């Protein structure tokens, strides 16, 4: 990783105070003062964890984060010169919160060991002070940035509340799927662990395809688009997730409008349909037979594309009030994306016009 990239990455540091302190790390590194860079980097990492725990307390009233901070305060008051609380901080943060995974924790422990060697007069066999090399220090800086400093203090149990509230407020500006994707990846997904994305996906599935309250009805479109973004980023993992929890994902609404959303989603993700329980499949099949939107989207429940083609023709010819709504013809062309369907679509288009 080049110095230029290292500096660019540092611009993404979540807290302003952390970013200011981190400039001293970069300055020491660029000037070849590698011991000083490592010592300061450890101090910055410790401060950043404290800030994140503090924000979890302030924003989410997180009792676990509060207990960690309260215990550290007690330790510091008992022995203000001891630095043992610093190691305990990352140990407790790893064990009791979702801020650090195993690899991130091990990277921080290695940083702490390098900091100990750099900060104390430990002489090697040649009576030389320990001096980490440039490559080691650069790796320590990169790992600390990517593992900790650029990430916001999301709590797995609270992130869905934060995300749902935020995308609802931003929905008027997120008027295309591409904008939704860019927004989510920039603000959230690029900073989350995979398991957190899957947790969000699981919650949104219920919001979009099961619940029928005022908030879910109002925000169903933006929730669906968020579900699509996360699903596309984790396609194979999502299939395993659903395979292991079929009852949850098969517990969908009976309401035709909500099932229209589900049929639309499954038309782009037919492998998911195959994993659902039979009761869910019966609901979906019934909706495909009885609502116009699902008739257009429900190719995946048919025995073949020819049958879907015939059903679309029947819809056009037998329903005098039928007209394709905006975007439906484009969707019909693209899903399913096969050469056979393109030929059949041309024949549909000639009848529709």
pTM (predicted TM-score): 0.69
> Across residues 300-312, what is the average pLDDT?
94
Query: Which pLDDT tens digit goes with each residue over 20-35?
Result: 999 999 999 999 999 9
Q: Is the pLDDT of residue 57 over 80?
A: yes
Pair 127, 162 in one domain: no
> Across residues 284-309, what is the average pLDDT?
94
Query: Which pLDDT tens digit goes with each residue over 112-141?
Result: 999 998 887 665 556 677 789 999 999 999
Q: Is the pLDDT of residue 99 over 70?
A: yes
Pair 291, 182 in one domain: yes
Pair 127, 184 in one domain: no
Nearest to 286 by CA among 269, 272, 270, 298: 298
Looking at 149, 176, 205, the residue that finishes a domain is: 149
pLDDT of residue 131: 84
Contact between 209 and 187 under an 8 Å Cβ cutoff? The reply is no
Interacting residues of 34 by C-beta distance below 8 A, sequence separation 6+: 28, 118, 131, 132, 133, 134, 136, 137
pLDDT of residue 2: 45
162-171, 209-218, 276-285: lowest mean pLDDT where? 162-171
Nearest to 137 by CA among 2, 38, 280, 26: 38
Average pLDDT, the chain: 90
* Burial zone of 81 (CB within 10 Å; 0-12 exposed, 13-18 middle, 19+ buried): exposed
Pair 43, 163 in one domain: no
> Across residues 182-197, what is the average pLDDT?
85
Looking at 115, 149, 183, the residue that finishes a domain is: 149
Q: Using CA atoms, how far apart are residues 43 and 28, in angstroms rounded to an integer?
A: 14
Q: Is the pLDDT of residue 7 over 80?
A: yes
Q: Is the pLDDT of residue 306 over 80?
A: yes
Pair 219, 319 in one domain: yes
Q: Is the pLDDT of residue 37 over 70?
A: yes
Q: Is the pLDDT of residue 1 over 50?
A: no
Pair 190, 333 in one domain: yes
Counted domains in the chain: 2
DSSP string, 186-212: HHTGGGS-HHHHHHHHHHHHHHHHT--
80-94, 125-139, 250-264: lowest mean pLDDT where? 125-139
> Across residues 288-316, what is the average pLDDT?
93
Provide the domain limits for residue 78.
Answer: 3-149
Q: How far apart are the first and last CA of the chain?
A: 57
Pair 60, 176 in one domain: no
- We report the CATH number of the domain holding residue 99 as 1.20.120.330
Pair 270, 325 in one domain: yes
Q: Could you count the other beta carbons within 10 Å of the beta carbon of residue 82?
A: 10
DSSP string, 254-295: --HHHHHHHHHHHHH-HHHHHHS-HHHHHHHHHHHHH-HHHH
Pair 346, 238 in one domain: yes
Looking at 149, 175, 209, the residue that finishes a domain is: 149
Nearest to 168 by CA among 228, 224, 231, 223: 223
Pair 239, 346 in one domain: yes
Pair 18, 124 in one domain: yes
* Burial zone of 40 (CB within 10 Å; 0-12 exposed, 13-18 middle, 19+ buried): buried
Query: Which pLDDT tens digit goes with each residue over 210-245?
Result: 999 999 999 999 999 999 999 999 999 999 999 999
Pair 73, 39 in one domain: yes
Query: Which pLDDT tens digit goes with each residue over 139-149?
Result: 999 999 999 99
Contact between 238 and 231 under an 8 Å Cβ cutoff? The reply is yes
């Amino acid at each position: 990783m080049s110095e230029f990239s290292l500096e660019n990455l540092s611009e993404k540091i979540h807290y302003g105070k952390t970013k200011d302190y981190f400039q001293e790390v970069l300055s020491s590194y660029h000037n070849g003062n590698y011991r000083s860079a490592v010592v300061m980097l450890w101090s910055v990492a410790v401060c950043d964890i404290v800030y994140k725990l503090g924000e979890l307390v302030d924003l989410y009233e997180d009792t676990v984060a509060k207990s960690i901070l309260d215990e550290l305060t007690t330790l510091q008051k008992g022995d203000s010169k001891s630095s043992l609380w610093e190691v305990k901080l990352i140990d407790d943060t790893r064990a009791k919160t979702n801020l650090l995974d195993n690899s991130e924790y091990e990277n921080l422990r290695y940083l702490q060991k390098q900091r100990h060697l750099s900060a104390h007069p430990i002489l090697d066999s040649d009576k030389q002070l320990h001096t980490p090399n440039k490559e080691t220090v650069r790796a320590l800086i990169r790992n600390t940035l990517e593992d900790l400093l650029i990430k916001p203090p999301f709590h797995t149990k609270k992130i869905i509340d934060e995300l749902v509230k935020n995308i609802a407020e931003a929905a008027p500006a997120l008027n295309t799927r591409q904008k939704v994707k860019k927004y989510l990846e920039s603000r959230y997904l690029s900073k989350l662990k995979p398991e957190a994305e899957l947790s969000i996906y699981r919650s949104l599935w219920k919001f979009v395809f099961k619940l029928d309250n005022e908030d879910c009805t109002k925000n169903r479109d933006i929730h669906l688009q968020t579900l699509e973004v996360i699903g596309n980023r984790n396609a194979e993992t999502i299939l395993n997730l659903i395979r292991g929890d079929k009852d949850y994902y098969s517990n969908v609404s009976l309401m035709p409008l909500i099932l229209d959303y589900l049929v639309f989603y499954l038309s782009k993700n037919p492998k998911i349909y195959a994993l659902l329980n039979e009761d869910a499949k019966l609901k979906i099949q019934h909706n495909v037979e009885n609502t116009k939107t699902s008739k257009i989207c429900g190719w995946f429940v048919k025995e073949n594309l020819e049958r879907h083609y015939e059903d679309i023709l029947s819809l056009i010819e037998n329903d005098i009030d039928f007209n394709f709504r905006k975007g439906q013809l484009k969707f019909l062309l693209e899903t399913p994306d096969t050469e056979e369907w393109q030929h059949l679509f041309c024949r549909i288009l000639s009848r529709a016009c």
